[in-house]
Amino acid sequence: MTSSIPAQTIGIIGSGNIGGALARAFTRAGHRVVTPLIAELGELATAGTVEQAAQAGDLVVVTIPLGAVTSIPSTLLDGRIVIDTNNYYPARDGHIAELDDESLTTAEYVARHVAGATVVKAFNHIPALHIAEHAQPAGTPDRRALMVYGDDAVAVERVSALVEQLGFDAVNGGGLAESWRIQRDTPGYGPRFTAAQLAEKLAAAVRYRDQ
């Protein structure tokens, strides 16, 4: 699953299932991670606080409950590319008006809080266990596809390369405003789909307010 991407240090804010699965995947690919979770990860993992993970490199994964995002100091991630894996669950996160009325996507909500960072939406529609189980080399027939959204083309390209390196076809879905198409309860959210299948699911997506 490795590629020619140079090894880099990736900070991970969050110690849940997705954070752990990505930490394992990144270290398998040769990257160093700074994360609260270091068991099983070997010498490429370093234990770190939120602040240390945020400052470890210019690429940081934010994978905490969405309701807790505003607990991160808003300037802590200035200058970083932030991979936002979050989904909105009101029962867990509390009601957030802009997400309830869909005036913002979850990614735009995160981007508004960390305005000095460049946010890219990725890894939000795959169960944690599947990050390892569904990974396949490039060119494998029916390889699983994952969506990537962002307003900065260079950041999207960089995160897409990581998605490909971890074993998935990266599909550029457009800007953060379009990422509602792969939020929870949409047709593409959760199951395994190829790029062609995922395109059909995205086209069939309907906003919550229109359901």
- pLDDT for 33-72, tens place per residue? 998 766 566 677 787 789 989 998 899 999 999 999 999 9
What pLDDT, on a 0 to 100 scale, did the predictor assign at position 148?
A: 98
Measured torsion, CA atoms of residues 157, 113, 57, 182, in degrees rounded to the nearest 10:
-40
How far is C-alpha 125 from the chain's CA centre?
Answer: 9
Give the Cα separation of 50 and 83 in Å (integer).
15
User: Which amino acid is it at 201?
Assistant: K
Contact 131, 148 (CB under 8 A): no
Q: What's the pLDDT score for residue 17?
A: 92
Map tokens 């849940």 to a residue: 16
Q: Name the pLDDT band for 138 (thresholds 50, 70, 90).
A: very high
Residue 135: partners with Cβ closer than 8 Å, 6 or more residues away: 1, 25, 144, 166, 167, 168
H/E run at residue 81: strand 81-84
What would you measure as the largest C-alpha separation in the chain, in angstroms? Answer: 49
Q: Is the pTM of this model over 0.95?
A: no
Q: Is the pLDDT of residue 211 over 90?
A: no
For the stretch 80-127, pLDDT in tens is 999 999 999 999 999 999 999 999 999 999 999 999 999 999 999 999
> What are the φ and ψ backbone dihedral angles of 149, each rounded to 5 degrees?
-130, 145
Q: Closest Cα to residue 88, out of 73, 74, 104? A: 104
Distance CA 61, CA 83 (A): 5
**Structure confidence by residue, pLDDT tens digits, 173-209:** 999 999 999 999 999 999 999 999 999 999 999 987 6
DSSP designation for 144: -
Average pLDDT score over the chain: 92
Contact 160, 136 (CB under 8 A): no
Phi/psi at 61 (nearest 5 deg)?
Answer: -95, 125
Please, what are the domains in the chain? 9-210 (3.40.50.720)
| Spatial separation of the C-alpha atoms in residues 71 and 50, rounded to whole Å | 11
> How far is it, in rounded angstroms, from Cα 10 to Cα 23?
9
pLDDT at residue 16, as a whole number: 87
Question: pLDDT at position 1, please?
Answer: 44
